[in-house]
Structure 1
Amino acid sequence: MTKRNLLAITLFLLSANLKAEIVLPRIFGHNMVLQQGKPLTFWGKASAGETINVQFTGQNQTTSADASGNWSITLKPLKASAIPSELVIAGTNTIRLQNILVGEVWLCSGQSNMEYTMRKNSKVKPSLATQSIDGHNPVDELNYANNPQIRIFLVNRKELVKPDSLHRGWNVAQDSALRSFSAPAYFFAKELHKNLNVPIGVISSAVPGSRIEPWISEAAFREDSFYGNQKIDGEPGKFYEPMIRPLTPFAVKGFLWYQGESNCFLKETTTYSHKLKTLITSWRNAWNDPKLPFYYVQLAPFKYSESKGKVVLAKETLPEFREAQEQVLSLPKTGMIVTTDLADDLSDIHPPFKWEIGRRLALLALAKAYDKNDVVAEGPIFEKMKVKGRAIQLSFTQTGSGLVSKDGRPLTGFMIAGKNGIFSPAEAHIDGKHVLVSADNVPNPVAVRFAWDEAAQPNLFNEEGLPARPFRTDKPLIKRSESLIESYQTKTTARSNSSIPNSK
C-alpha cells in the first residue's frame, strides 16, 4: 500500500468519524436554564440515519437523523427545579451537559440601551440610585451578584451559528461573564427571581446602533401585506439570521425589546409601528407560539432636535415616535414601560438607571405573564377627557393607589389649546381620581397634551412610583392611508442615506 493510499484511507476514516459526531447549537450548554411548563425541543446535526438519544430528569427519547443529518427530539414539559441536573445526548459520541436548571427563560434584544453592560452600570454615579437593591447600591451590583439560580447567555453575532465543542455559552450571572452582559436583562432577571423564586435564564442578543429592520427577516417583510412588493432599506435580516434564527425553537417564556433610537433619528412614526408589529408577529411565528409575551421600552428624554443628521428633527419628534410605539400595544400580549423620569443628561442617549428599566420590565411580566394581580406594573394612562367650563378634566387608568405629584410640587408637562390649535403651558392639579387642566389665556379649551416635548420630565405618577404615559388628546396616531404605503419606499430610501448620530 502506497503512502498516498494510506493517507487517503486515514483521512477518510477521520472525516467519517468527525461526520458521525453529534453537533449541538450553541444555545445548548452547561449551566443553561430550560423553560418550565413547555415542551422542550433539542436539535442538532449528526450523520444521516444516526440514532440519537436524549435523557433528562427521567425522560428518555430516541430519534434518527434525517438524510441531511438533522435531528430533533422534544421532551415533555417540566416543572421548575433549582436542583442542578445532567442532560445527556448520545449517539456515536456522548455529550453530557452539567448544572442544568428548569425555570423561566426570556430573550432580550434591541440596540445599545439593551446591550448596555453591567460594566458600564458599575461606572454610573452612585448618587443617581435613590433606592437600594438587597441593601446595596445597584451601581455596585457586580460586587454582590452571586445567585446561582440566575443564568445568562450572551449572543455573539459572529459565533452563534458556529458549534462550540465545549458548550460554554451559558454562565452563572457573576464575575467576568456578568460584566459583559446586558444590565437591563440582568436586573429584569433579578427582580423576576425575587418574586417567583425559580431559576431565571436571560439571553441577550443586541447590537449597538441597530435599526429595527435588521432584526426582521426578509421573508417576514415579504409576507406582510403592508409593504407590498416594496424594497425595504435598512438591511433586513442582517441580525435576525445570525442572532435570532439560531435560537429557535429553544423554548422561552417571552421577549424583551429596547430599541428605537436609530429609527427615531429617521423621524419615523407609523412606519415604525408597522415594523415593530411585523417583528413581534414574525418572532412569535418563528417560535410557533402566537401568545409569547413581548414587552418593550418607550424611549427616554433626549435632545433629538439638536442632532446633526440630515433629517431635521423637532422637539415633537420624540413624542410622536413614542406615540408610534404605543400603537403597537394593540397587539395582544404586549406591554410597554415609560421612562420619562429615567434620564440624567438629555445629551446622553444612553441614560443610566438600567436597574429601574429591568425592574419595570419585570413588573410588566409579573402582572401580565405571571398573573400577579397585586402587582402595579404601569403608571397612569390617559383614558378620556371632559370639558368642564374653562378646564379639561382628564381620567386615567393604572392609577394604582392614587395619583400623586412625585416631588410634591405643582404638576408639570401639561399644555392646553382652544379651537385655534395653539397650545399654551397649563396649570394642572390632581382632583381625586382626575387631573384638571386649565390656562387663563384659553377660556374654551378643547385639547390637552402631556409630556409633548423631547425634554419633558413631568412629575405626574401613581403612588407606586411609576410615571404617567405621555399623550395628546387632539391627534392620536392612526393608521395612515394607502398614500403612506405608496410613498413609503421613497421616503425610507432617502432617509437611509442620512447619518444617525449618537445612536451607538
Structure 2
Amino acid sequence: MKIRLPEFRTLFLSLAILKALLLAAVFLMFDLPANASLRIPSILASNMVLQRNSEVRIWGWGDPGKKITVKVGWLPNELSANVNSDGRWQVKVLTGNAGGPYKISISESEESLELNNILLGEVWVCSGQSNMDFTIKMLGGWKKSFPAEMDDVLKNDYSKLRLFDVKKDTSSKPLEECFGTWLLPDTGVLASFSATAWFFGLELYKELGVPIGLVTSAWGGTPAEAWTPKSIVDTDPALIFYRSDPNKNPWFPTAPAILFNSMINPLLKTTIKGAIWYQGESNVNDADTYGQLFPAMVKGWRQAWAEGDFPFYYVQIAPFTYDRAVVGALMRETQLKCLSMTNSGMAVTMDIAGDVTNIHPVNKPEVGRRLALCALAGTYEKAGIAFSGPVYRSFTHEGKTLRLYFEHTEGGLLVKSHSREDGFMIAGKDKHFVPAKVKVESGSLVVKSDKVKEPESVRYAFTNTSDATLFNGTGLPASTFRTDNWPLVTALVFMKPSFDKASGKILYDLSASDPRSSIHYTLDGVEPTCSSRLYSGKKINLNKPGLILARVCIDSTASESIGSWEVKQHKAMASAVSYQNPYSERYTAGGMYGLVDGVEGSVAFNDGAWQGFEGTDLDVVVDLGELTLARKISVHFLADTNSWIFAPKHVEIRTSQNGFNYDAGTRYDNMGALAGAPGEGKQVITLKSSLMKNIRYIRVRAVNIGVCPPGHPGAGEKAWLFVDEIEVE
C-alpha cells in the first residue's frame, strides 16, 4: 500500500465538488446531449482560435436526417454534412495561415448559428493540478505578485490571445462535452485564469506573432492516473498499482480516468498544436511507478487525439517540505528520466521556488517562459534558443575524484554556492554520502571529498528542498540527478498514542504501511539504524519526558525518513476530555486523548498530532480527575494558510474546581493577525495562561474564523482550526 501526501486542499472547493457531481449526474442520465435542435459544443464558439494550417472539425448535434451547412470565412465554398441517426454531425475544414478575424455560419433548414471573431493560430492544451490551475488572483493578485506583468497587459494589445477554461467535472465514463467560454484577455479576466498557461501563451505570442488559443483543463490536488484513459490503465501491466485507486483522497478526484473522461475526452475533436503539463505533487509518494504512469498517460492522450506524437512539455515539481525524506528528489529524478519520451521537454524550477513551505511557487512568469522555450526550440524550431539547463550524461573515475559530463551546456557550466548543504554529495561503496567539493574543468565537473577515498557515486540536489546550484551559461538550472541506482526507501513510521486503562497512562504504538517493514527505534536521542532496537509490537511506555526516534528498514536498507516525537510529561496527560463540537475524522490526533497525549504537533499539519475542526469552533473541557495545583496552562494552535488552516479569532482559557463555576480566565484576541497570508509559511502559536491555584477542570474555547477570507484561494469556503496539546504545569 502506498500513501500520498495530499496537496493541501487548494482549489478543491466544496462548491466545485457539488457542481461537478450535479453535472456528472446529468450526463449519467443522458448519454448524449439533447438533439431536438441545432447545437454545437461550448469549445466551438465566438472568439475561439482554431489551429492554423491543419484540418479542424466543426461538429455538433441536430435532428437526424437534417442537412447541416457550414460556411467559414477563410474558404470560398460551403461545406455540408447530414445529421446521423444518433443526432451527431461533423464536417472537416482545412485552415490556412494565421489570420482573422473570421466568421463561421452553421445552418440547417430552420435554424442557424453564427460565430464571430474567429482567429487561426496556435492552440495549446494546458493541464495538470493546482500549479497549472492557480490563477493570478490565487497567487496574490496583480499588484502584489505581478505588478510589471500587469503594466504589460494594460499597455499592450493582447486581444489575439484567447482563453478557454474547462469547468471542473468528473465522470466514470467518457463525456462528449465540457463547459467553458472563450474569452479575450484583460487584467480582470486574467486574474481568474491559469497564471502558468497565460505566461506560456504570452511568450509564444511575443515570439511568433500569431494568435494563440489556450485551453486550460486542470484541477488542484489530482494525481496523474485521474487524467489517464481507462483503457491505458486497464491494459498496461506496468500500471496494475493504479487500478485500485491507491491514491484515493477525500478532497480530490483520484480514480483512474475520472478527469480524462470529463475534462480531456470532450476536447479530442479539437485540433491542437501540443500540450503543457504541471503536475506531480500528488504522485510524489509513488515516484517509482510514476515513471511508467506519466509516459503511459501521454501515450494515451496522443492515441486518443490521433494527431501523432504532438509536443508535450511539462514542469518539474519545485522544492517543498514533503513529510517523507527525498520523495521530492525522487519525483524530480523520475520526471528527468521521462525526457526519453518522444517530442517532450521539461522546465526545471528548483531555482525559482522561493518559500519551500509553499507548494505553489509564485514565479509563474518564469515557469511559463521556460515552457515556452521548450516549445519555441522544439516545436517551432527557432534557432539559437537554449531551452534546457545541464542534463547529466555520464561519469568516469579519476582516482579520488569523479568527473561528470553533461548535455545542454550552452555558455559553459556554472556552480553557484548556497548556504544550505543540499548541493553535491559523494559516497563510496559504503553508500554514506557526505558534502562534496565541485570544480568546473574542461566543460565537465570534477567532484571529490577528502572523506571519501574511493568514490562511487555523486548525487546533486537530492533532498526535498534543494535549491539549484548548477546552471549553464544561459542561466537555466540542472535537474536533480544521481549517478547511482542504489535502492532508496522512503517509508514512514506512524506513531499513535493510546490510553491504557490498566496503568492509567498514555502508551505509544508504532506502525508502518509497507508489510516488508521492520521498525527500529531509540529513546536516547541517537539516530536509529537497522541494528537499533526492533519494535516488537509492544507499546512504548515512557515514565519520563523523552524523544522517540523510529525508522523503517526494508531488506536491511534504512529509510531516508526518520520519525521523531518528543513526549512531554505534564499534569493533564491521560485526562478525560469532553467535546462540545466533534473533531474531524480526518485529523484526530489519535482520538479522545489526542490533546493530552504528551506529543506536540509540528509545523506539518499532517504529522498525526493535530486535531482539526473544519468551519467549527474548538470547545473542550479537560477533567484532571482531582484538584491539582496548576502554575501554567499552555495550548498550541497551527497557522498554515496555504493549507486553509488559520489561527482562531480568539481563545478563552478558563478553569474550575467543580465543573460548573468557571473563573474569568484569560482571553486572547486578534489571533487572526498571526495567521499570515498565503505563501508566508507556517507557524505553531503557543498560548500560555499563568496561574497558581488548585483546579480540576479546564475549558478551552477557540473561535474558528469560519471561512477563508477574501483574497485567499479558498475565499468563502470553510476554514480549518488546528489544535494540539493542552499542557498543565
Whether TM exceeds 0.5 here: the answer is: yes
Measured in 1, the distance between the counterparts of 2:465 and 2:369 equals 23
2:296 aligned residue: 278
Match of 1:68 in 2: 86
Shift of 1:228: 5.6
**Higher normalized helix content (fraction of residues):** 1
Residue of structure 2 in register with 1:471 after alignment: 481
Match of 1:322 among 323, 332, 343: 332
The one-letter amino acid of 2:69's match is N
Q: What's the counterpart of residue 186 of structure 1?
A: 198
User: Aligned to 1:152, which of 158, 163, 170?
Assistant: 163
Is 2:192 the partner of 1:176?
no
1:215 to partner: Cα distance: 1.1
2:37 is matched with 21
Matched, 1:93 2:105: no
1:401 corresponds to which of 388, 408, 411: 411
Query: Unmatched 5+ residue regions in structure 1?
Result: 1-17, 130-135, 306-312, 479-488, 492-496
Partner of residue 383 from structure 1, selected from 390, 393, 399? 393
Q: Which residue of 1 aligns with 2:459?
A: 449
Kept in 1: contact 2:195–2:365 (CA 8 A): yes
Residue-by-residue CA offset, 1:253-295 (whole Å, 9 max, x unaligned): 011111111111xx11221122212211111111112311111
How much does 1:428 deviate?
0.6
C-alpha contact 1:406 1:459 (8 A) present in aligned 2: yes
Q: Given the superposition, is the C-alpha separation of residues 271 and 304 from structure 1 closer, same or farther in structure 2, using an over 3 Å criterion? A: same
Q: Please name the residue that 1:51 is paired with.
A: 67
The sequence identity of aligned pairs, in percent, is 36
Amino acid at match of 1:169: T
CA separation of 1:274/1:410 partners in 2, compared to 1, >3 Å: closer, same or farther?
Answer: closer
2:148 to 130, 137, 153: 137
Give the TM-score of the pair, scaled to structure 1.
0.83
1:43 shift after superposition: 1.0
CA distance in 2, matches of 1:364, 1:229: 32
AA at the equivalent of 1:108: C
2:320 to 302, 309, 328: 302
Q: 1:224 aligns with which of 221, 225, 236?
A: 236
Matched residue, 2:350: 340
The change in CA–CA distance for 1:379 and 1:228 in structure 2 (over 3 A counts) is closer
Q: Name 2:630's counterpart in structure 1.
A: none
What one-letter code is carried by the residue in structure 1 that aligns with 2:216? S
Alignment partners' CA distance in 2, 1:274 and 1:490: 23
Distance 1:389 1:227, change over 3 A: closer
The offset of 1:220, in angstroms, is: 2.5
One-letter identity of the residue aligned with 1:379: G
Asked whether the 8 Å contact 2:353–2:361 carries over to 1, the reply is yes
Q: Secondary structure at the match of 1:281?
A: helix
Deviation at 1:20, TM superposition (A): 4.8
| Cα distance in structure 2, aligned partners of 1:352 and 1:370 | 28
The letter of the residue matching 1:23 is R
1:258 aligns with 2:278: yes
Structure 2: tracts of 5 or more residues without a match: 1-33, 246-253, 489-513, 517-584, 588-604, 607-641, 645-729
What's the C-alpha RMSD, in Å, of the aligned pairs?
3.0
Which region of structure 1 is more displaced relative to structure 2, 208-217 or 94-103?
208-217
Amino acid across the alignment from 2:255: E
Matches of 1:215 and 1:145, distance apart in 2: 36
> In the alignment, residue 156 of structure 1 is paired with which amino acid?
K
Largest Rg, 1 or 2: 2
Partner of 2:259: 239
Q: 2:49 aligns with which of 12, 30, 33?
A: 33
Q: For each residue in 1:309-356, what CA deviation from the matched residue of structure 2 results, as whole angstroms up to 9, or x when unmatched? A: xxxx11x11111112222322221111111111211111111111001
Q: Distance in 1 between matches of 2:427 and 2:403?
A: 14
The aligned amino acid for 2:390 is P
Equivalent position to 2:308, from 285, 290, 293 = 290
SS of the residue corresponding to residue 443 of structure 1 reads coil
Q: Distance in 1 between matches of 2:187 and 2:46?
A: 17
Report the Cα distance in structure 1 between the residues aligned to 2:143 and 2:399, rounded to whole angstroms.
47
Q: Is the 8 A contact 1:124 1:352 kept in 2?
A: no
Q: 1:163 to 1:353 in 2, by over 3 A?
A: closer
Distance in 2 (CA, whole Å) between partners of 1:428 and 1:368 is 32
**Matched residue SS, 2:477:** coil
Deviation of 1:191 (Å): 0.4
Q: Distance in 1 between matches of 2:211 and 2:388?
A: 25
The number of residues matched between the two structures is 452
Q: Secondary structure at the match of 1:404?
A: strand
| 1:104-159 Cα deviation digits (max 9, x unpaired) | 01000111100010223453896x88xxxxxx723655645641111110111249
SS in 1 for 2:368: helix
Return the offset for 1:407.
6.7
